[in-house]
Structure formats: C-alpha cells, structure tokens
Amino acid sequence: MTMSLSAKDKATVKAFWAKISSSGEAIGADALSRMLVVYPQTKTYFSHWKDMSPGSAPVKKHGATVMGGVAEAVAKIDDLTSGLLSLSELHAFTLRVDPANFKILSHNILVVLAIMFPTDFTPEVHVAMDKFLAAVARALSEKYR
Amino acid sequence: MVKWSDFERAAIQDIFSKIDYDVVGRAAFSRCLIVYPWTQRYFGSFGNLYNAAAITSNPKVAAHGKVIMAGLEKALKNMDDIKTTYKDLSVLHSEKLQVDPDNFNVKLFSFYCLTIVVAGQMGAAFTPEVQGAFQKFLAVVVASLRKQYY
C-alpha cells in the first residue's frame, strides 16, 4: 500500500508535532514499553538489555532514540526516502529489524498519542499520523533488498 | 480453548464496565471509516460519508457503532467460548456481508481503531498490561469471526 502524503497530511503532521515534540521522550518510552508487553515477540531484538520492563532505563533511553528519528522524519517530510537513507541502512544491514515490526511500533505510538493528547488526536490527525508513520516505515525499508 | 488469566479477565471486564458503549462504538467505527476509507465500501447505504465531519455526525454510523459494541458484549459475557458464541456472526460476515477477512475491516476496526479509542477514553489506566489483555480479547474475537469463512 503506497499512499503518498498530501500537502494537507504534511501540514497536519507538522502542526501536531509542534504541539507534542516536547513530550517526545515520554511518548517513545511508553510506546516501546507497550510494544514489548503487548507483542512479546519483539523482545528478541533487545535480549542484550538487563531490563525490558515498562519504564526501565534502557527502554526510556531507546524510546528517546526512536522519537529522535521520528523528529528527523518530520523535518525531512518532503523527502523521506533520501532524508532517512542512513537510518534505513542501519535498520537493514546492522539491526536487521523485520520490517513487519514497524507497523507494530507505529500502532503503539498512536495508542500513546491517544492517551496523552485526547483532544488533539482527532480522527483527522489520526489518519495523517498513521499515513506519516507508514511512510517513515517505507523509507526505513528502502535499503533492505 | 483460550485461557484467560485472572488479571486478563478482570482487566477486560473493567474496561467494558467503564466505557460508554455509544460514545466508543461511534468513535471507533467513525475512525475506521476515516482512517481506512476503503472500508466505506461495505456501507454504501449509509448516506453521507464524504468527510470526517460528515462521518462523525452520521446517525447510521452511530447506530452501527452500537451494533458492533453489542456484538462485543456477547463475547465479553461468554469469554470462555467466544468461538461458539460467534458462530452465527461469523456466518453473517462471511456469507451475507462478504467482508474481506484477511486484513481489512475486522482487524482494522478492532485492533487499531477500537484500541486507540478505548486508550483515549481510559487514559493512563490503559497500562501496557491492560492493553495486552484487551488486544488478546480482540484477537480471539477476530479469530472467531473468521472461523466460518470457506
């Protein structure tokens, strides 16, 4: 499903991001915590962590890293493929995350947004963010094969 | 046979006791039609689904949201045998409605839209563990709805 972002989608994402970006670390930590609990098969990528429980230090740190990537994607929203090139190489060659997991993390990010921003996370914002995260996942999958 | 832990049973019952079925049913079904617009395919008789505002204020959408929540309540009341409880609903979806069972509609509605709406309603009480229990419940519901296909 390759659906590109319209000008309206991009504007919606940027406006919403401006509201929520200061909570980036908290969003990342919570989304990652949920992914590890609700989809335990994803723990396989983090077996080197001492503690995978919700809110633990490695989870918080990594949540911040992931949302840093999302912030970068927002800034490069007009050309995600070239903008996220090195991140794609990282995921493809070094991390080798099965791209099926991108959808899982995206879902959990949306759940966290619904909890933290109940009035701002309207259906219109929801569809724009869902499309955006899908586009980010596609850009990250570029170098896989 | 699906096994439910005490925590899971309690968490799921708790969610359903706290949410407003009308509000949640309408909001979740609206989001499904807005976020995944190809699902509108199954609702040609619903009138104006032209944009998000039209969908969220459409009375047929609200009414159908209630129908879906009533269906989920059946599963809630028969948690130990959702498969049998849903036999007729599965036949309905496969034969009469011909909903694409694979990815669309049922999964999109329940896993994504309903979970997100319930999360928004419950706030921080919707912890990762509670989310896990709820999504497991929805997974059993989806599997039971698919049971009678083919």
Task: Please report, as a single letter, which amino acid is at residue B41.
Answer: R
| B87: its two tokens | 């036999």
Judged by DSSP in three states, B101 sits in coil
List domains and CATH numbers for chain A: 7-141 (1.10.490.10)
List domains and CATH numbers for chain B: 19-146 (1.10.490.10)
Find, in chain A, the residue whose alpha carbon is nearest to that of B115: A111
Which positions in chain B touch A30 (Cβ < 8 Å)?
128
Tell me the pLDDT tens digit for each residue of A90-126: 999 999 999 989 999 999 999 999 999 999 999 999 9
Tell me the pLDDT tens digit for each residue of B52-98: 999 999 999 999 999 999 999 999 999 999 888 888 888 877 776 66
CA distance to partner chain A, nearest, from residue B78 (Å): 23
B52–chain A Cβ distance below 8 A for any pair: yes
Cβ pairs bridging A and B (under 8 Å): 56
Start-end of H helices in chain A = 7-20, 24-38, 57-75, 80-83, 85-89, 100-116, 123-141
Nearest CB partner across the interface for A115, out of B31, B56, B124: B124
Neighbouring C-beta atoms of residue B22, cutoff 10 Å: 13
- CB–CB contact B116 A124 (8 Å): no
Global pTM reads 0.91
Q: How far apart are CA A58 and CA B149, in angstroms?
A: 44
Let me know: does B8 contact B136? Beta carbons within 8 Å. yes
Burial (Cβ within 10 Å: 0-12, 13-18, ≥19) of residue A122: middle
Q: What ipTM was estimated for this complex?
A: 0.87
